[in-house]
Structure formats: structure tokens, C-alpha cells
């Protein structure tokens, strides 16, 4: 009992340590991206009013995305923050419907974040995706979900190819297994139809008949 309690305490401590480590890594990544964006030089042009609509190269707002190590959602967050800081018009950096869908499907709870934060983020991403797709009612939502599900399935042509390959493979495997007699171990017939087995049975019956005819029935009386 004590051992189980101690193991439970150790597991809890390990989980807390791992979560703190992930939180530190996340904050370091956020700090690295923030520092990188602070050093970005933006070329001003065509000021309107008080400089609200400066022309900004969107690629200069954040460093190049690291597909192996960087957090995609954190990357978008930093990008949007920098775009708003540079007063870039929303229609210039809005994500495509596909990107919004991927962001919704891939989003996970950040280390140290509350589950309520995850729910809020998911609702926000889903709302943005549906808005860009111009979904207005339940019928359109159903059509969208069915369409997205169909996209995840392999094309019909590929399915037919797989069926043909599987069928050919099964036929070849069946042809590779010839019929073998388990009595004489020869190919081409099964045990009930084995000629050697039938011949042996006939020889046994003939032998019994011959022996019975040679016996003197009076000797048994």
C-alpha cells in the first residue's frame, strides 16, 4: 500500500516537472520570436493620414517558420500581433480557409494553459474558419463537414486500384497453394480420392474374401 502511494507521488512529481519544462520551452520560444520581430526593419511608404496604412512586407514581420521545432499556433499569434502593431489591414494577412481549418484541427492545449483557454481558442478558430467559408446555417455546415470528410478518403480510382491489387494477390496466393493428398503426399488430389488408399482398401477386402473361402467351416463346429 505504501509503495503504491509513493509511486503515485513520484509519477505526479514527474508530470509536474515535465509540464514546467514544456512551459519554459514554450516561453523561451515565444521570447525568441518576439525578440526576432523587434529587430525587423520595415520600409515605410505611402503614408496616409497619420501613418495608419503603411505598406509593409508581410514576410518581414516574423522570422522564417521552423517546421521541425516551432509551434505553428504560436507563430500565427506572433504574426498577427506584429501585423496589428504595424497597422496592417486585416484583409492583407487573413488566413485562407484551408489554413484556418488546419489551425483548428491541429490546435492543442499549451503547457500550463487551462482547459478553458483551449476551448476558447478552438471556438475562435472554428468561428473564423466558418466565417471565411461563408457558412450561414446548419445545412451549409453539414455540407461542409461531409465535404471535408470526403477529402480525407482516398479517391475512388485509387480504391479500385487497391481492390484489383488485393484481388490479384489473393488469386496468386491461391494458385501457389496446390491440392496435396495428406495420405500419399502427392499433388493433384485429396485423401478421400487417393488411388493408393482405394487400392489398399480393395486389396484388404479381396484378402479377407480369399481367406474366408479357404477356411473349413466344419473346423469351427
Mean per-residue pLDDT over the chain, rounded: 67
For helices 72-85 and 97-106, the axis angle rounded to 10 degrees is 130
Confidence band, pLDDT 50/70/90 cuts, at residue 116: confident
Q: How far is CA 219 from CA 211, 213, 214, 215, 216, in A?
A: 14, 13, 12, 8, 6
CB-CB contact of 42 with 57 (8 Å): yes
| For residues 5-11, average pLDDT | 69
Q: Of 84 and 134, which is predicted with more confidence?
A: 134
Query: Which pLDDT belongs to residue 163?
Result: 57
Query: Which pLDDT belongs to residue 205?
Result: 46
Q: Nine-digit cell at 179?
A: 491440392
Q: Of 45 and 128, which is predicted with more confidence?
A: 128
Query: Which pLDDT belongs to residue 173?
Result: 47
- CA 197, CA 116: separation in Å to the nearest integer? 78
* Radius of gyration from C-alpha coordinates of the chain: 39
At 59-76, the pLDDT tens digits run: 666 666 565 665 666 666
Q: Nine-digit cell at 62?
A: 516574423
Query: Which pLDDT belongs to residue 210?
Result: 52
pLDDT score of 132 more than 80: yes
Specify the 3-state DSSP secondary structure of 7: helix
| For residues 153-182, average pLDDT | 61
Q: Nine-digit cell at 75?
A: 507563430
Confidence band, pLDDT 50/70/90 cuts, at residue 106: confident
CB-CB contact of 104 with 126 (8 Å): yes
Phi, psi values for residue 37, rounded to 5°: -75, -25
pTM score, two decimals? 0.37
Q: What angle do CA 184, 188, 193 make, to 5 degrees?
A: 65
| Burial class, 194, CB count within 10 angstroms (exposed 0-12 / middle 13-18 / buried 19+) | middle
Amino acid at each position: 500500500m505504501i509503495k503504491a502511494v509513493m509511486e503515485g507521488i513520484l509519477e505526479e512529481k514527474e508530470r509536474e516537472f515535465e509540464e514546467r519544462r514544456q512551459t519554459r520551452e514554450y516561453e523561451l520560444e515565444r521570447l525568441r520570436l518576439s525578440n526576432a520581430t523587434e529587430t525587423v526593419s520595415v520600409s515605410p511608404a505611402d503614408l496616409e493620414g497619420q501613418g495608419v496604412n503603411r505598406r509593409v512586407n508581410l514576410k518581414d514581420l516574423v522570422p522564417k517558420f521552423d517546421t521541425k521545432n516551432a509551434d505553428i499556433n504560436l507563430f500565427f499569434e506572433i504574426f498577427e500581433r506584429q501585423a496589428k502593431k504595424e497597422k496592417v489591414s486585416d484583409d492583407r494577412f487573413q488566413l485562407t480557409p484551408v489554413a484556418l481549418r488546419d489551425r483548428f484541427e491541429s490546435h492543442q492545449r499549451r503547457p500550463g494553459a487551462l482547459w478553458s483557454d483551449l476551448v476558447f481558442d478552438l471556438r475562435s478558430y472554428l468561428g473564423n474558419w466558418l466565417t471565411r467559408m461563408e457558412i450561414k446555417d446548419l445545412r451549409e455546415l453539414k455540407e461542409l463537414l461531409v465535404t471535408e470528410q470526403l477529402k480525407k478518403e482516398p479517391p475512388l480510382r485509387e480504391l479500385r486500384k487497391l481492390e484489383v491489387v488485393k484481388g490479384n494477390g489473393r488469386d496468386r496466393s491461391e494458385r501457389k497453394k496446390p491440392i496435396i493428398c495428406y495420405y500419399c503426399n502427392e499433388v493433384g488430389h485429396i485423401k478421400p480420392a487417393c488411388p493408393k488408399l482405394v487400392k489398399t482398401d480393395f486389396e484388404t477386402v479381396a484378402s479377407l474374401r480369399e481367406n474366408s473361402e479357404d477356411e473349413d467351416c466344419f473346423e469351427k463346429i
